Amino acid sequence: MSSLRLNVNGRAISVDAAPETLLIELLRGPLGLTGTHAGCDTAQCGACTVALDGQAVKSCNVLAVQCAGRDVTTVEGLATPDPAGDRLHPVQQAFMDCHGLQCGFCTPGMMVSAACLLRENPTPTDAEIQHALEGNLCRCTGYVNIVAAVRQAAQASGQTR
């Protein structure tokens, strides 16, 4: 075990982790951030996607020690804290508005991937949205509504293409 320091959802944390601990295990275990879902454990489904220094990564494929000194954002960290109640990220609001979820299992990974896309490309085409979400599988076949949600989130930011 070694002490690991990183920033998670905007908060500096220090936590003990074994060298073989995966980021998903750290998030869901000691940090209690269960919004990130463990799916296939082989980096195929995308349910565990988080942002690492602003880039979408599959947390089941990243060692926690690789995140030392870095910024990790989970689905819980997308919302903006507000004393009157957290303000949803535009992607979160759009997923609700467009019913971009069905069973909800893929939703956290889809939302984080979409937020990463919009940070890099605030005016994506539908083809670019589909490409950015390729690593995230939805078994309920909600892709049409998911793409619509990402498109709405881009438009909500005042940027359309």
At residue 82, the pLDDT reads: 80
Domain boundaries, the chain: 2-75, 90-156
Query: Which pLDDT band, with edges at 50, 70 and 90, does 161 fall under?
Result: very low
Mean pLDDT of 122-145: 93
At residue 83, what is the residue type?
P
Q: Within 13 Å, how many C-alpha atoms sit on residue 102's CB side?
A: 10
Exposure b/e, 9-45, CB count within 10 A at least 16 = b: beeeeebebeeebbbbbbbbeebebebbbbbeeebeb
pTM (two decimals): 0.93
What CATH code is assigned to 2-75?
3.10.20.30
12-25 confidence digits (pLDDT tens): 999 999 999 999 99
Q: Which two tokens stand for residue 131?
A: 């490409």
Topology of domain 90-156, CATH: DNA polymerase; domain 1 (1.10.150)
Alpha-carbon span 150 to 84, nearest angstrom: 26
The kind and range of the H/E element at 150 are helix 143-156
Q: Quick count: other Cβ atoms within 10 Å of Cβ 69?
A: 9
Q: With 0-12 CB in 10 A as exposed, 13-18 as middle and 19+ as buried, what is 4?
A: buried
